[in-house]
Amino acid sequence: MNQGIGHSPFDLPVVFQLGSIPITKPVVITWGLMAVLALGSRLLTTRLRVRAGRAQTALELLVTTIEGQLGEVIPDGGRSYLPLLGTMFLFLVVANVSGIVPGVQAPTAHLETPAALAVVVFLSVQVAGFRRHGFLGYVKEFARPSIFLLPLNLLSEITRTFSLMVRLFGNVMSGEFIIAIVLGLAGLIVPLPLMGLELLTGLIQAYIFTTLAAVFIAAAVGTASPAPENGKERTT
């Protein structure tokens, strides 16, 4: 947590260049976190046993818990979305709390990382909707209950993704910024309770982001119109 008082969360320090493409510090940290998660997943799943040890038991509990949460939100079960949303949750947990490591700044405290994650959620929602309803069927859903609401429904699809990005960025950035100020004014010991609060905030924000992503997907795949009953059309 070496983010100084004068540091701006909108600053994107360039570490190196790939040709004409600048690679910023949040991108490098994100790559590092992805490598750590990939390596950790590989080590934990290399020797799975029928009689699970402590590490395997914890891993199975984590996976089944996430799957259960997704199943409560997404109709027809959330197992097919577990790889996407489960990976997103684990990355967000690690990314949000990485700022407590000396010399590391949480990539989600920089706007580009939440923006990229929000774009992933937006595209995933549209793909899920197209796969469930077909192109025309999904587009028609935006015209419900009236064609005059089409522009507002389309705008809502964009603004809710924007709010998802801003919520994650604002909460993680503000927590890091406050701790940096206290650290600069009071020294190392005083900010420790705030760091504990930052850990809790990071976990909560990862949960909220993932849950909202699941809700958006559920809305896209769960609005199909079944066959009319008693002459009336109902929606799930």
What burial class does residue 85 get, using C-beta atoms within 10 Å of its C-beta: 0-12 exposed, 13-18 middle, 19+ buried? buried
Q: What is the pLDDT of residue 3?
A: 47
CA distance 27 to 228: 50
8 A C-beta contact, residue 205 and residue 172: yes
Q: What are the extents of the domains in the chain?
A: 14-221
- 145 prior amide bond cis, ω within 30: yes
**pLDDT, tens only, 196-232:** 777 888 899 999 999 999 999 998 887 443 334 444 4
Task: State whether residue 27 is helix, strand or coil.
Answer: helix
- Residue pair 96/202 in contact (Cβ under 8 Å)? The answer is yes
The pTM of the full predicted model, rounded to 2 decimals, is 0.80
- The SS3 of residue 22 is strand
Residue 158 has pLDDT above 70, yes or no: yes
Pair 235, 122: CB distance under 8 Å: no
97-138 pLDDT tens trace: 888 887 788 899 888 899 999 999 999 999 998 988 888 888
What CA–CA distances, in Å, run from 211 to 183, 198, 231? 33, 20, 36
- Cβ distance 95 to 109 under 8 Å? no
